[in-house]
Amino acid sequence: MKRFTAILFLFLLSLSAMAQLEVKPGSFKEVAGFVNINMDIQTDDNDVPFAVLKVKTENINDKQRRELLFQGDAATFIECEYKVGEVWVYITYKATYLKISHPDLSSTEFWFPFDMQPKKGYELTLVNNAALATDEETLERIRKLEEALRNQQEPQIIYVEKPAEQKPTTPTTPRLPWNTFVTLNLSNNTYNEAAFGITAGTMRKAGFFVTLMSNFNLKYMGGESSLNHNNSEYIQNYIDKNGYSCKSEYMSYSAIFGMIFRVYGPINMKFGGGFSSNSMIVTVYDNSFLNQQYWVSDVSSYGFGGLAGIQAHLGRFVISLDGATTNFKVYEARIGIGYGFGKKQ
C-alpha cells in the first residue's frame, strides 16, 4: 500500500511539472523597422491604433497554437493572425499585460516592461514546459521517492517553500487620450502694430483650440462704442483748427475659439471665430486739460474675429502660421512656436 501511494504521488508530481506555459525570460523586444501595413487591422473598435505582437512558440504544435487564447486589459482589443510557427497578435497599443491560455496547457500572464507604440512590431517566445525537463527541486523529490521505493520505506518528502510570485511593477507613463499642445504667439497687423498671446488645444484626428492675443494696453477694453467715432482726417483737422494737442494709443485684443483637423501626416488646418478689437484711440487736450477721446474709425475695427491657419507637429515641437482678421478690415499675420504633450496618435 505504501508503495502504491508513493507511485501515485510520483505520478501526480510528474504531472504537476508538465503542461505549463511560460514566456521565455528576456524574449520580449521591439522588432526594429517593423510597421503594421495590414490596412484591414490598423485600429481597434475605439479607433486606437494596434501594435503587433509576434508570439513565437516552442514545443507547441500547429493545432495547439491555433487553440491559444489571448486576453488583455478591460479596454484592450485583440485580433489574431496565425502564421507558421507563430501567432501575430494585433493588440491595442496601450495594453499593459497579456494573458495567454490553452485548455490543456494552463495559462500565463506577461506584463509588458515598457510602453508599446502604435503600429510598431514586438515579439516574445512562448514555451510549453510539458516537453522540457523538470526543475532541480522536482528532480530532487523524484530521487527521494525512488530511493524510498527501493528501501520500501515511507517516503519523506521535503517541501521547499517558494516565495510568492510577484508581478513585475511596470513604470507607468501618463497617457493623455488626446495630443495636447501649447504655443506662444507673435502677430503683426495691417498698421504694423504687434501683439502677443497664447494658443492651447487638444486633438487626435480632429480637436479644438482657443487663442488669446493682446498688446496689453487694455484700459479701453469693452468701451469702444462709448467713445466718439470719427475718421483720422476729421480728428486732425479739429486739432489743427483749435490748436489742441493729442495723444494716440493703440489697443489690441482678441479671443478666438476654433477647430483643428489633421490634413496629412504632421500637417493640420485650423479655423476659428470669436471677438477681436484693433483700435486706435486719440485723446485731445486743451491747455493740458482732457477735452475729448476719439475712436479712429478709418484705421480701427472691433467685433467679429476670424482665423485660419496651418499647424505642424514635428515630434514634440509645434509650429503654427495663422492669418487673422477683425471684420475683414484689419488683418494680422501670426506665428506660434510651442510644445506638444501626450501620446502621438
Asked whether 95 and 73 are in contact (CB, 8 A), the reply is yes
3-state secondary structure of 268: strand
- The pLDDT mean for the chain works out to 84
DSSP, res 224:
G
Is 8 contained in some domain?
no
Q: Which residue has the higher pLDDT, 100 or 167?
A: 100
Q: Is 117 exposed, middle or buried (0-12, 13-18, 19+ CB in 10 A)?
A: middle
What pLDDT is recorded for position 107? 87
Q: Is the pLDDT of residue 40 over 60?
A: yes
**Locate cell 486739460: which residue?**
289
Q: Which three cell numbers stand for residue 236?
A: 486732425
Query: Among 133, 165, 188, where does a domain finish?
Result: 133
Is 85 contained in some domain?
yes
Q: Which three cell numbers stand for residue 6?
A: 508513493
- β-bridge partners, 103: none
What pLDDT is recorded for position 324? 97
Q: Cα–Cα distance between 259 and 155 in angstroms, integer? A: 77
Q: Where are the beta strands (DSSP E) in the chain?
A: 21-23, 29-35, 50-58, 69-71, 78-83, 86-92, 97-101, 107-111, 120-128, 179-189, 194-203, 206-214, 228-230, 245-264, 267-286, 289-296, 301-314, 317-326, 330-341
What pLDDT is recorded for position 228? 93
- In one-letter notation, the amino acid at residue 302 is Y
pLDDT tens-digit map of 293-340 = 999 999 999 999 999 999 998 878 999 999 999 999 999 999 999 998
Q: Write down the pTM of the prediction.
A: 0.51
What pLDDT is recorded for position 142? 65
Is 153 contained in some domain?
no
**Locate cell 497687423: which residue?**
189
DSSP 46-80: TSPBEEEEEEEEES--HHHHHT-EEE--TT--EEE
Q: Cα–Cα distance between 189 and 159 in angstroms, integer? A: 83
Res. 343 pLDDT band, cuts 50 70 90: low
> How much of the chain, in percent, has pLDDT values that exceed 90?
59
In this structure, the strands spanning 228-230 and 289-296 are: parallel
For 156, phi then psi, to 5°, come to -110, 105
Domain carrying residue 224 = 179-341
What pLDDT is recorded for position 271? 97
Q: Smallest Cα–Cα separation from 212: which of 202, 200, 194? A: 200
Res. 177 pLDDT band, cuts 50 70 90: very low
| 186 plus 285 within the same structural domain | yes
| 188 plus 336 within the same structural domain | yes
Q: Cα–Cα distance between 195 and 54 in angstroms, integer? A: 54
Asked whether 220 and 252 are in contact (CB, 8 A), the reply is no
Q: Smallest Cα–Cα separation from 108: which of 219, 22, 223? A: 22
Asked whether 5 and 149 are in contact (CB, 8 A), the reply is no
Q: Cα–Cα distance between 269 and 201 in angstroms, integer? A: 13
The total domain count for the chain is: 2
Q: What is the mean pLDDT of residues 247-251?
A: 94
| 304 plus 194 within the same structural domain | yes
Q: What is the mean pLDDT of residues 148-168?
A: 58
In this predicted structure, which of 13-22, 188-197, 213-222 has the lowest mean pLDDT? Answer: 13-22
Greatest pairwise CA separation for the chain in angstroms: 131
Give the Cα-Cα-Cα angle 275, 276, 281 (nearest 5 degrees). 135
Length of the chain counted residue by residue: 345
| 213 plus 85 within the same structural domain | no
What pLDDT is recorded for position 315? 78
Q: Is the pLDDT of residue 187 over 70?
A: yes
| 190 plus 294 within the same structural domain | yes
3-state secondary structure of 43: strand
What pLDDT is recorded for position 132? 55
Res. 28 pLDDT band, cuts 50 70 90: very high
Is 102 contained in some domain?
yes
Q: What is the mean pLDDT of residues 181-192?
A: 95
pLDDT tens-digit map of 49-86 = 999 999 999 988 899 899 999 999 888 899 999 988 89
pLDDT tens-digit map of 96-154 = 999 999 988 888 999 999 999 999 999 999 998 875 544 556 667 667 776 776 666 55
Q: What is the mean pLDDT of residues 158-165?
A: 56
> How much of the chain, in percent, has pLDDT values that exceed 70?
80
| 94 plus 184 within the same structural domain | no
Is 151 contained in some domain?
no
Q: Which three cell numbers stand for residue 237?
A: 483737422
Is 143 contained in some domain?
no
Is 304 contained in some domain?
yes
Res. 243 pLDDT band, cuts 50 70 90: confident
| 188 plus 320 within the same structural domain | yes
Q: Which CATH number does the domain housing residue 231 bear?
A: 2.40.160.20
What pLDDT is recorded for position 131? 56
Q: Is the pLDDT of residue 267 over 50?
A: yes
Is 4 contained in some domain?
no
| 193 plus 109 within the same structural domain | no
